[in-house]
Structure 1
Amino acid sequence: MVPLSSAALAQSQPPAISAPQAILIDYESGSVLFERAADTPSPPASLAKLMTMAVVFREIADGRLTPDTEFTVSEYAWRRGGAPAGGSTMFAALNSSIKVSDLMRGVIIQSGNDAAIVLAEGIAGNELAFSTKMNEEAKRIGMTNSLFVNSNGLPSPEQNTTARDMSKLAAHIIRTYPDFYSIYGETSFTWNKIRQNNRNPLLGMSLGADGLKTGYLKEAGYNLVGSAVQNGQRLIVVIMGANSAKDRAEDARKLLEWGFRSFESRLLFESGQIVGEATLYGGARGGAPLTGTGPIRVVVPRSGDERLTARIRFEGPIAAPVEEGAQIARLDVYRGDQLALQVPLVAAEAVERGPLWRRAMDGAYELMVNLFRQGYAKLTS
């Protein structure tokens, strides 16, 4: 999917924010509603723990780990990330055994550096090996400007990310692991008889917020990745490098409120709905029905009155056979004369090769078309 850019969408004046890097996206379409220096590298601070959890979620989903698996708190994890370190901690006791499900909450709700290290060591043996998994996951997600070197985001000159990459990571977690994502909305967690509240300030606002994570380093400033839902529309906001915790919360609130107020998500086609047909060559039938890989939505300004138009594009005729689910076309959606969305289309059902006479007729037709194209090209060259 190629989403609509903020420049193409711009109609309503965005709010003034202080953060040097920020992005606001519509979750369903991926459309960028606002961006500022969204590709500028910056230390992730505790936002790195979002990637740590993405790796943990994958390990569970792939059957290599369970929420009931127990890991032991090493001296390194305790000293580097626990109470002796003086940073954000779960207060995990040295040499204690803790279930993965509790460690997950220690990371997600309490932002525990110790919990992140215990998970990293339990899964990969050490933080360096775990960071390899983090970077492999980042590549799978399509995060092109991020490098992770530890599980907790503690200072390292090599460790960087961008607001755009963080929005991709947030969308991936929400889409791929909805059951685990619900933990991000839990407001508190108690471990070792110490109750800590969720550090995400958006959860306490009337925004419909249900996740994700904050982060802070002196070198990075105040960071936040958040998501909220109103009337079925989900937005994701990323703030990086804010001057204070208050500023990052206020910037995120302003962008979310503006996004919900200024834009709406329109459903164009339901999941599985036939969008159109692609012409086939040599098939048992002359065309293959097309559908999206899920619901097809487009974001438009609430104040806009331009008509939406859609065009199906493919390189064709397409040679049969065609397998069900094969990506063979693209849907381009326009708002007025501006490209609003590009969505891949797949074959809704398989189409086998046709009988010999059908392939011969299609071949003769294709030959005539190609000869015409060649002659036309010579005349216009």
Structure 2
Amino acid sequence: MSVASSVAPASAAASAPVPVPPPELAQIPVSLLVDIGSGQVLVQRRPDVPFLPASVTKVMTAYVAFEEIGAGRLSLDRRFNERPETEKEWFAKGTNMYLTRKDWPTTRDLLHGIMTASANDASIVLGEGYAGSVPQWTAKMNDAARRLGMTGSHYNTPNGWMDDGHTYVTASDLVRLADAMITRYPSLYREFSGQKHWFWRDVAMRSHDPTVGVVPGADGIKTGYTREAGYNFLGTAERDGRRLVMVLAGSPKPKVRDNVARALLEWGFSAWQARHLFDQGQTIARAQVQDGNAQSVPLVANREVHATLPTGGHQKITLAVRYKGPLQAPIRKGDQVAELEINVAGLAPGRVPLYAGRDVAKGGALDRLIAGAIHLVS
């Protein structure tokens, strides 16, 4: 079932042409740029082809930790002690915090090590220390991927170390992951993403993020590299309420990746413009509910929603709210129950998730009687 509406064009002026992306983007085998306020794809190349993520894997390790922190099961102040066999295997192996059994890093220390320093040992210590083993931790990673709809991805390691291709992702899936990390855990995201330096034992560890401090509004997220994977980047920036999320994968050189990342974000903000549609939390539509103590539930977005148009463009915008309905009670406030489809003439549609704006409990006999009467009248 769907509820549709339309937004008239801003004026009768001719539509602007679809912007041409930076030419240097052709050097990157996999690329994707999405405006998450509209869900619209601004540029894409092989967005659903699996690739080796290398250290971009660590974004899912951080996300699983965010979930556990958000649920109250993991404290940022909890201390971890490295296992002897873990120290033997992972000390100074790739990028590292150089943890030893004498250290008792907190969750906060490990997350800074993972997200800023890209520490391989920190990822293992967190995963083993919390879940009991690496396989039990990666099971949590894959469960989170499944719940996020990351259908083209699989995790076999917490840190992206080479594993004969058992860990793989797609660009489309990484955008889903970044979106969830930013919108569901904003305070944790701000604390652990986009930090250029972090100190562990008075030693400065440096991020390789090519955009933070260079591109206005850039605040993360993670680079990655192995010989097999090439140079990868999951990046994002926000300006004036617009957030772009970008994936670049398989770059032959770090300089190519870094230059393209900067150019692509700047192009996304300059060549495209947002037309505001709804505020965060504003009721966008109502969905019918079956067997509940209310006949409908308000649908809201967890972000500011806009349509994305070429700069100077005035294309017609059509909206459609889509859900499988009627929805079945009980429904909890915050459950994702629908999508807003945003259609800009001449462009591929974008989709933004919609959430229940209130609880709807299971209805009693009187509620069912009232609903039946309303149905007969309608």
Q: 1:211-226 alignment to 2 at 5 Å?
A: 211-226=220-235
Which range moved further: 263-272 or 166-175?
263-272
The structural deviation recorded for 1:97 is: 1.4
Please state how far the C-alpha of 1:199 moved relative to its aligned partner: 1.7
Q: From 32, 45, 51, give the equivalent of 2:60.
A: 51
Residue in 2 aligned with 1:140?
Answer: 147
Q: Which residue of 2 aligns with 1:128?
A: 135
Cα distance in 1 for residues equivalent to 2:183 and 2:90: 30
Q: 1:175 aligns with which of 180, 183, 197?
A: 183
Whether the 8 Å contact between 1:147 and 1:161 is mirrored in structure 2 is yes
User: What residue number does 1:108 align with?
Assistant: 115
Number of residues paired by the alignment? 354
**Deviations 1:3-48 (Å, cap 9, x if unpaired)?**
xxxxxx9801111211100111112222211111111111111011
SS at structure 2 position matched to 1:222? strand
**Conserved in 1, the CA contact under 8 Å of 2:60 and 2:141?**
yes
Q: Is the 8 A contact 2:288 2:297 kept in 1?
A: no
What is the deviation of 1:109?
A: 0.9
Any conservation in 2 of the 1:275–1:289 contact (CA below 8 Å)?
no
Residue aligning to 2:84: 75
Q: CA deviation at 1:117?
A: 0.8
- What amino acid is aligned across from residue 168 of structure 2 in structure 1? N
Choose the corresponding residue for 1:186, options 195, 212, 217. 195
Q: Report the AA paired with residue 96 of structure 1.
A: D
CA distance in 1, matches of 2:311, 2:153: 34
The one-letter amino acid of 2:185's match is Y
CA root-mean-square deviation:
3.5
CA distance in 2, matches of 1:136, 1:314: 24
Larger % of helix: which?
1
- Structure 1 residue 272: deviation in Å? 4.6
Partner of 1:244: 253
1:359: how far off?
5.1
Task: State the AA in 2 paired with 1:177.
Answer: Y
Structure 2 residue 277 is the aligned partner of structure 1 residue 268: yes
- Inter-CA distance 133–315: structure 2 relative to 1 (3 Å threshold): closer
Find the residue that maps to 1:39 and give its secondary structure. coil
Superposition deviation, residue 52 in structure 1? 0.8
Question: Cα offset for 1:307?
Answer: 2.6
State the partner residue of 2:8.
Answer: none
Q: TM-score, normalised by structure 1?
A: 0.80
Conserved 8 A contact 1:331-1:345: no
| Distance in 2, Cα, partners of 1:281 & 1:142 | 26
Are positions 1:23 and 2:32 aligned together?
yes
Residue of structure 1 in register with 2:12 after alignment = none
Pair 1:199–1:77, CA change in 2 (3 A): farther
Q: 2:238 aligns with which of 229, 239, 243?
A: 229
TM-score (norm 2): 0.81
User: What do the CA deviations read for 1:173-203 (whole angstroms, capped 9, x no partner)?
Assistant: 1111111111212221121332111221211
Match of 2:10 in 1: none
Counterpart CA distance in 1 for 2:57 and 2:253 is 19
Which one of the candidate residues 290, 296, 306 is aligned to 1:297? 306
Change (3 A) 1:114 1:293: same
Q: Please state whether the residue corresponding to 2:235 is helix, strand or coil.
A: strand
Q: Deviations over 1:291-327 (max 9, x none)?
A: 43444322222232223244567899x6999979698
Are the equivalent residues in 2 in contact too, given 1:327–1:347 (CA < 8 A)? no
Amino acid at match of 1:188: H
1:253-304 deviation per Cα after TM superposition (whole angstroms, max 9, x unaligned): 121111111222322123454445678999999x858543444322222232
Task: Percent identity, please.
Answer: 33
1:200 to 192, 200, 209: 209
Work out which of the residue numbers 80, 85, 94 in structure 1 matches 2:101. 94
Which deviates further from its counterpart, 133-142 or 340-349? 340-349
- Comparing 292-301 with 202-211, greater Cα deviation is found at 292-301
* Displacement after TM superposition at 1:69 (Å): 0.7
Amino acid corresponding to residue 251 of structure 2 in structure 1: A
Tell me how far 1:104 sits from its aligned partner.
Answer: 1.0
Residues 24 and 358 of structure 1: CA distance in aligned 2, closer, same or farther (over 3 Å):
closer
2:145–2:153 Cα contact (<8 Å) kept: yes
Alignment of 1:347-366 (within 5 A): 362-363=375-376
1:314 & 1:153 partners in 2: Cα distance?
A: 36
Q: Which letter maps to 2:129?
A: G
SS of 1:70's equivalent in the other structure is coil
Amino acid at match of 1:132: A
Q: CA deviation at 1:169?
A: 1.1
What secondary structure is seen at the aligned counterpart in 1 of 2:264?
helix
The structure, 1 or 2, with the larger RCO (C-alpha pairs under 8 Å, 6+ apart) is 2
Q: Does the 8 A contact of 1:74 with 1:95 survive in 2?
A: no
Q: Distance in 1 between matches of 2:227 and 2:328?
A: 59
Letter in 2 for 1:263: W
Tell me the distance in 2 between the aligned counterparts of 1:283 and 1:131.
38
Instruction: Report the counterpart of residue 256 of structure 1 in structure 2.
Output: 265
Change (3 A) 1:35 1:133: same
Partner of 2:5: none
